[in-house]
A = this chain, B = another copy of it.
C-alpha cells in the first residue's frame, strides 16, 4: 500500500512552529502552548523574527536558521506569508506541513488562486500538507495536540476527520464531559492537498482507532472516497454527518472550506454504498462513534432493557423497535431469575422496571449478570444507575430538616460497578447506559473510566444501539466484489458514434438491448404501410409512439397510443400522431401487459462517478420520489440493496397475488447500466421508465439517452 503523508504528519519527531509568540492572546501561541502543555515528546522549534525565546523554547529568527529540517512545519501566519514560508521549508528539505492560516479558496477567486500557488510550491518540493484553513491535528497516543483547546483524555479509540476545526477544538471539553475519547483527530480544512480520502485511509489503517467519525461539507473525489470507505468499513465502523445538501448548507460550506457540495440524495447513496452510517447531527457523530469504538459488536437484534423507572424504559423500548431492534419478552426462566430481585409490583418482562429503589446493586450487578448470561439476549441497555449525583442532591434537604450541622462529611455509599464494566467484553455483548446525570455522579465517572458509553437521554441509548445494529449489517455484507468489466458491444459503439444529439427511444433501446437489457420488441417506421407490416411482425395488440428525442412527456402530448388491437385502429393512431408531428418517425411496439412499473436511470454529478438510480416508475414516479442511488461500478450487493431500499419494496414481492419480480434480472439491469455509463462518458443521462413487470420479468418499455452538450464549431 502507498505510504500516507499523514503517517509522518501525525507522528513527527520534530515540529517547526511559525506563528507562536509570547503573546498568549494569539491563536498560534495558544496552539503552541497546547503542543507543549499536552506533552508532545518530540522537538519543538519556534520560528520568530525577533524573540530569542518563545514560550520557554529557543526560537529561530528564520526558517534558514533552523539547525535541521524538521519533520513537520506548522504555519499560523498571515495569509500572504504562507507561500514564502512554505517555499523556505521546501528549500531546507522539510517534506510535511500543516497550514493553519485561512484566507484561501473559502474566500473566493483571489483566495482560490493563492491556494493554487501553494499547491504548486508543495508539488515542486514534493511536500505534502494539511490545510490551509484548518486547526491542526490531535494524536492522543503520542501525545500531540496542535489545536487551540486542551485534550483531557489520552489513548482514546475514536478517530476523527473533520472539515470543521471546531469539532476537534471547541467541543473537546464537551467530549470529555461525555466520556468520549479520541485516538486521533484531523482538521482537514480546505483539503487543498491532503483530503478526506487520505484522512479516511490513514484512520482506517491506524490500529489505535476502533471507529471513525467524519464531518463532511463536500467530497471532491467521490469515487476514490467510495473505494477507500468500502474497504475501511469492512474492517471498522465509519459514522458521518453530511451538511452540504441544502441551499443554505451548500452556501455555508462553500464559504467555510470552499467545499463542493451536492444534494442530500447523492450523498445518501454514496454513504450507503460505502458502508458509512449516516447521522444528522454532530452529537450523533461523536456519541454514535464512541459507542461503535468502545463496545463489542452487536451480534443479533435482541436487546434487554433494565431500568429503575417506567418512562425511560418505555422510551427505550419503543425507540429500539423504531431502530429495528427487538425488545423480546424474557423467557419464563429469565423472568424467574429476575423476579427474585425486584419488588412485587415491578415488571420482569423486558423492559425490567425496578421502580424506585435505593439499593443500586440490583440494577448495577444482579440483573445485568442474568441478561448478559442469557442466550436470548444480544445487547443490554441500562437506565438509572446513579448514586452520588442523586444523593448529593437530596442531602442538603436531609441535613436541613434533620439538623445535621453544616460541613459534616456525607458518606454516600458508592455503587460497586467492577463486574458490570467488564461484562461487555467478557460476554461479547454491548452495554449502553443512559443517565440524566453527568460526571458529578460517581457511577457515570466509573463508566467513563471504563469506556462504557453513557448517553444523556433514554432514546439516545436506544438509537446508539441501533447504530451498532446498522454496523453489524454493514459488516456482514456479501457480494461486494465488482463484476469483471464488460466488453463494449459493437452495436452500442455504432449508435453512439453516429449520434451528435440525444438518442431517440429506438436507438436508446437498441443500445440497451446490445447490453442484454430486456426491452420491448419494436420497429421504427415512416410510412403507414410499414407500420401495418411492423404490427404484423410484432403481433397485435401494439403501441404506437412518436419516436423523437425532442418530444418530452409524449403521453401528455398525445403522442402515445396504447393497446391498439386492429389495422383500423392502427391507421387512426398513426394519422393522429402525424397530424401533430408531420415528419416524426413512429415506433410500433409490442404492447406489454404488466402489473408493476419501476424505473432505472443514470445521472452525472461533478466529482462523482456515474450515479445509477432505481425506483418506482411510471407517470407517478416524479410524485412518489421513491428512489435510491449508487455510484458505478456497482457490485451485486449494491444493486440488491438499491432494490431493497425503496419504500415500496413490498411491490417486488408477491404483492396482491402478483408474480414476484425476478430481482436477479432487475439487479442485472442496474449493474449493466453502471457499466454502460462507464463505457461512454459522453452519455449525460439515461432514463429507463417505465420498466414494466410482465410475469415477474422486467422489460424496458421506454428509454431516453441524453448526450453531453458538445461544443459545436461556429
Contacts and interface: CB of A to CB of B under 8 A. Distances in A.
Interface of A: 24-25, 27, 30, 33-34, 36-38, 55-56, 79, 102-103, 106-107, 111, 148-150, 162-167, 170-171, 173-174, 177, 215, 217, 241, 243-249, 251-253, 255-257, 280-283, 305, 309-315, 317-322, 326-327, 329, 344-345, 347, 349-351, 353, 355-356, 358, 384, 386, 389-390, 393-394, 396-398, 400-403, 436-438, 456-460, 553, 556, 596, 619-620, 622-626, 647-648, 650-651, 655-657
Given A107-B345, A309-B166, A648-B620, A37 B317 contact: no
A436 B174 contact: yes
Nearest to A303: B248
B150 A397 contact: yes
A651 B312 CA distance: 41
A125 to B, nearest CB: 26
A456 B384 CA distance: 22
18 contacts: A27-B356, A56-B403, A106-B347, A107-B345, A149-B390, A149-B393, A162-B311, A164-B310, A165-B311, A166-B311, A170-B386, A170-B390, A173-B389, A251-B349, A253-B314, A282-B459, A283-B457, A556-B656
Contact of A457 (B256, B282, B355): B282
Given A55-B401, A317-B246, A148 B394 contact: yes
A24 B397 CA distance: 10
Contact of A647 (B107, B248, B345, B624): B624
A513 B396 CA distance: 72
B249 A314 contact: yes
A377 to B, nearest CB: 14
Given A33-B398, A624-B626, 17 more contacts: A34-B397, A106-B345, A107-B345, A149-B393, A170-B436, A173-B436, A243-B314, A244-B318, A246-B317, A246-B322, A247-B321, A256-B347, A257-B310, A281-B315, A282-B311, A283-B456, A623-B648
Contact of A243 (B25, B315, B625): B315
Given A174-B456, A457-B283, A248 B656 contact: no
Given A173-B436, A281-B457, A655-B623, A311 B111 contact: no
Contacts of A246: 317-318, 321-322
A622 B251 CA distance: 40
A6 B422 CA distance: 48
A251 B311 contact: no
A311 B281 contact: no
A349 to B, nearest CB: 6
Contacts of A310: 106, 164-166, 252-253, 255-257
A371 to B, nearest CB: 15
Contacts of A326: 248
A146 to B, nearest CB: 13
Contact of A553 (B252, B620, B656): B656
A633 to B, nearest CB: 30
A33 B401 contact: yes
B358 A313 contact: no
A459 B171 CA distance: 14
* Closest 7 pairs (CB-CB, A-B): A164-B311, A249-B318, A256-B310, A246-B321, A37-B397, A166-B309, A248-B327
Contacts of A162: 311
Nearest to A389: B173
A103 B384 CA distance: 21
Nearest to A311: B164
Copies in the complex: 2
Contact of A622 (B329, B355, B656): B656
A318 B248 contact: yes
A322 to B, nearest CB: 6
Contact of A313 (B252, B312, B396): B252
B252 A317 contact: yes
A31 to B, nearest CB: 10
A393 B150 contact: yes
B165 A251 contact: no
A149 B437 CA distance: 13
Contacts of A327: 248, 252
B256 A398 contact: no
Contacts of A437: 173-174
Nearest to A247: B321
A438 to B, nearest CB: 7
B353 A255 contact: yes
A185 to B, nearest CB: 13
B438 A37 contact: no
Contacts of A305: 252
Nearest to A33: B397
Contacts of A27: 356
A38 B396 CA distance: 11
A271 B150 CA distance: 46
B282 A458 contact: yes
Nearest to A597: B620
A73 B245 CA distance: 57
A553 B657 contact: yes
Contacts of A255: 310, 347, 349, 353
Contacts of A283: 456-457, 459-460
A305 B655 CA distance: 48
Contacts of A624: 624, 626, 647-648
Contacts of A622: 650, 655-656
Contact of A256 (B148, B217, B311, B319): B311
A691 to B, nearest CB: 15
B243 A318 contact: yes
A401 B37 contact: yes
A241 B314 CA distance: 11
Contact of A436 (B33, B171, B358): B171
Contacts of A398: 24, 33
A459 B314 CA distance: 26
Contacts of A321: 246-249
A660 to B, nearest CB: 13
Nearest to A176: B393
Contact of A344 (B103, B163, B281, B393): B103
A422 to B, nearest CB: 26
Contacts of A396: 37, 150
Contacts of A647: 624-625
Given A457-B281, A459-B283, A384 B170 contact: yes
A317 B280 CA distance: 13
